[in-house]
Amino acid sequence: MKTIDDLEVAGRRVFVRADLNVPLDGDVITDDGRIRAAVPTITKLAERGAKVIVASHLGRPKGAPDPQYSLAPVAKRLGELLGKQVAFATDTVGDSAKATVAALADGEVTLLENLRFNPGETSKDDAERGEFADKLAALADLYVGDGFGAVHRKHASVYDLPARLPHAAGDLIATELNVLKKLTEDVRRPYVVVLGGAKVSDKLAVIDQLLGKADRLLIGGGMAYTFLKAKGYEVGRSLLQEDQIPAVNEYLERAEKNGVELVLPVDVLAADDFPDLKTKAPAEFITVDADQIPSDKEGLDIGPRTRELFATKIADAETVFWNGPMGVFEHPDFAGGTKAVAQALVDSKGFTVVGGGDSAAAVRILGFDENAFGHISTGGGASLEYLEGKTLPGLAALED
């Protein structure tokens, strides 16, 4: 796989497929981590004299323009981070895109409107996707894939476009691949994996793989209640996927058979109702043992004894991968578990990876220094699929 250092970019139009899929509140960006992660590659190309065309998706529009998913706020923030004006094309391959790209001078940067405003971007029809890729290719001379968070999608700008232009991986993708290899091929032990988030079904395949690789699996967040239920515990109104209990029972048995320590919460914070995340008004809750959750309450965070337990299990690790919050971290009353795990990673002497998505957002929202971690991934679902051993279309397309 070539990198951008292998490309002659001076005076040439370079299409950079980034991942600028940031959370928005109206037109306010609430977490600009993915934009900042894209800056080094864009800067390097601009400084080498490229005419840089940046493109990304945002959200899930239905293949047509939708103002709530416009990348206009992202163009503004990208310009602030680059310290230069970023021209914004109000379409993807139309008159605005063509004119904006044509006006670029060497070292200048433009951002196209949301790629998913065109139905060809996400189409399952090869011909429709290919037609859109042809139009994108007409805008550029070279292609750089740098949106790791999108490489698991067989989309026009990720999969079809690299086949139409000389291509290379950006620095962000190169870094992500290097980190993921440390989690799969060149692992220093003890290897501890912390998994959280809402649904156990989202993590089944990665748990399946990790039962053969990790030394310890720590399970928190909403997904933990399906594990607790599988052990015969009452979980009240906590998030539960009953249909996944047979799979979870199998994993509990395999973990014991393989000598993998699978650690579940020993206590939780439980409340009558889900907290108000807009006002963040104080919530009433109780701390109970994990096998004593009242039938009329729902677990919303791991408890203090679990926080200590998880920190102890992380303390001697040489490699730690964390994906998914331990509770409703967006509310201060239920952020303690996620904060405790983040602090345990900070305190660890091992190589620590925060696996993107909500975990990465939580680290920033809770005020941690990103440099205190070995790596904060922008990969999200793509990272998990890589760990599952899947072939990722966007990576395959970048191979020579």
Instruction: Give the DSSP letter string of 137-204.
Output: HTT-SEEEE--GGGTTS--IIIIIGGGGS-EEE-HHHHHHHHHHHHHHTS--SSEEEEE-SS-GGGTH
**Residue 147 known to be catalytic:** no
Ligand-binding site membership of 34 (annotated): yes
CA distances from 29 to 70, 78, 89, 328 (A): 12, 11, 19, 20
**Residue 381 known to be catalytic:** yes
Ligand-binding site membership of 20 (annotated): yes
**Residue 63 known to be catalytic:** no
Two structure tokens written together for 189:
């032990």
Ligand-binding site membership of 356 (annotated): yes
Ligand-binding site membership of 189 (annotated): no
Ligand-binding site membership of 330 (annotated): yes
CB 375 within 8 A of CB 354: yes
Which is catalytic among the residues 98, 199, 231, 254? 199
Ligand-binding site membership of 197 (annotated): no
**Residue 229 known to be catalytic:** no
CB 171 within 8 A of CB 195: no
Q: Report the first-to-last Cα separation within the chain, whole angstroms.
A: 6
CA distances from 291 to 155, 250, 314 (A): 45, 20, 23
Closest CA to 97 of 60, 71, 126, 127: 71
Ligand-binding site membership of 249 (annotated): no
Two structure tokens written together for 33:
């981590």
Which is catalytic among the residues 170, 196, 222, 357? 357
Ligand-binding site membership of 299 (annotated): yes
Ligand-binding site membership of 364 (annotated): no
CB 360 within 8 A of CB 176: no
Ligand-binding site membership of 178 (annotated): no
Which is catalytic among the residues 34, 48, 51, 154? 34
Tokens 């042809």 -> residue: 134
Using DSSP's 3-state secondary structure scheme, residue 15 falls into strand
Tokens 């951002």 -> residue: 111
Two structure tokens written together for 25:
């509140």
CB 192 within 8 A of CB 170: no
Ligand-binding site membership of 19 (annotated): yes
Tokens 């405003």 -> residue: 117
CB 186 within 8 A of CB 208: no
Q: What is the CA radius of gyration of the chain?
A: 22
Ligand-binding site membership of 116 (annotated): yes
**Distance between CA atoms of 197 and 87, rounded to whole angstroms?**
37
96 phi, psi to nearest 5 deg: -65, -45
Closest CA to 218 of 102, 304, 314: 314
Ligand-binding site membership of 153 (annotated): yes
Two structure tokens written together for 375:
């790596």
> Per the annotation, where are the binding residues for substrate?
19-21, 34, 57-60, 116, 153
Give the annotated binding-site residues for ATP: 203, 299, 330, 356-359
Annotated catalytic sites, by residue? 34, 199, 357, 381
- Binding site members: 19-21, 34, 57-60, 116, 153, 203, 299, 330, 356-359
